């Protein structure tokens, strides 16, 4: 009996994990692309290997004081400018979104806002390709989900490693 319960539980966990992967793959394949401008941060970590710590320009000059002091997480409403770069519209308060508006998840830390993911991992030795990245490439689905799928150069073109 115990073995059957463990087997059923294992199948349930396996199915849940695979569904999560499926959802992310659907966003990568079908999501709407939007760029977030980056600002300089420390590019590497000795403990974690090669990666770039990201900070987003959109988080500068946000009206953070308008967020409830008890709120630690939430969504901001963004929209694309003429260059497909995200711009801040307002903090989300469960209102209906207008055409072209997307939700971007944030974490509030003291008097600032942090967008997650805030790091981009790459293969060891490829730092030279990403060191001048100017944009994070995000894909959004029709819900509140988004993924960082790559980095782009100053011309908003995806950085492709040869």
Q: Kindly tell me if the per-residue pLDDT of 44 is higher than 60.
A: no
16 & 71 share domain: no
Q: Do the domain assignments include residue 160? A: no
DSSP H or E segment with residue 34: strand 32-39
Distant-in-sequence, close-in-space partners of 97: CB < 8 Å, separation ≥ 6: 77, 103
Residue 6: burial class (beta carbons within 10 Å; 0-12, 13-18, 19+): exposed
127, 101: one domain: yes
To the nearest whole number, what is the mean pLDDT of the chain?
85
On whether both 36 and 15 belong to a single domain, the answer is no
Answer yes or no: is 54 within a domain.
yes
Both 75 and 94 in a single domain?
yes
What pTM value is reported for the model?
0.81
Rg (CA), the chain: 18
**Tell me: the pLDDT tens digits for 53-108?**
888 999 888 888 777 777 788 899 999 999 999 999 999 988 999 999 999 999 98
- Lowest mean pLDDT across 47-51, 53-57, 114-118: 47-51
Give the burial class of 95: count Cβ atoms within 10 A of its Cβ; 0-12 exposed, 13-18 middle, 19 or more buried: exposed
57 and 113 in a single domain? The answer is: yes
3-state SS string for 13-30: HHHHHHHHHHHHHHHHHH
Q: Provide the domain limits for residue 107.
A: 32-152
| 162 within some domain | no
Same domain? For 13 and 80 the reply is no
Q: Same domain, yes or no, for 24 and 98?
A: no
Classify residue 60: in a domain, yes or no. Answer: yes
């Amino acid at each position: 009996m115990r073995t059957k319960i463990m087997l059923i539980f294992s199948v349930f966990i396996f199915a849940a994990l695979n569904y999560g992967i499926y959802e992310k793959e659907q966003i990568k394949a079908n999501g709407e692309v939007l760029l977030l401008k980056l600002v300089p941060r420390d590019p590497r970590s000795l403990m974690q290997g090669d990666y770039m710590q990201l900070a987003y320009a959109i988080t500068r000059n946000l009206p953070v004081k308008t967020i409830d002091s008890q709120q630690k997480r939430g969504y901001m409403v963004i929209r694309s400018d003429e260059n497909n770069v995200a711009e801040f519209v307002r903090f989300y308060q469960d209102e209906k979104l207008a055409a072209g508006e997307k939700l971007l998840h944030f974490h509030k830390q003291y008097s600032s806002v942090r967008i997650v993911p805030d790091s981009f991992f790459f293969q060891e030795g490829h730092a030279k390709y990403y060191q001048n990245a100017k944009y994070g490439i995000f894909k959004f689905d029709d819900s509140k989900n988004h993924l960082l799928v790559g980095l782009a150069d100053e011309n908003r073109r995806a950085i492709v490693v040869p």
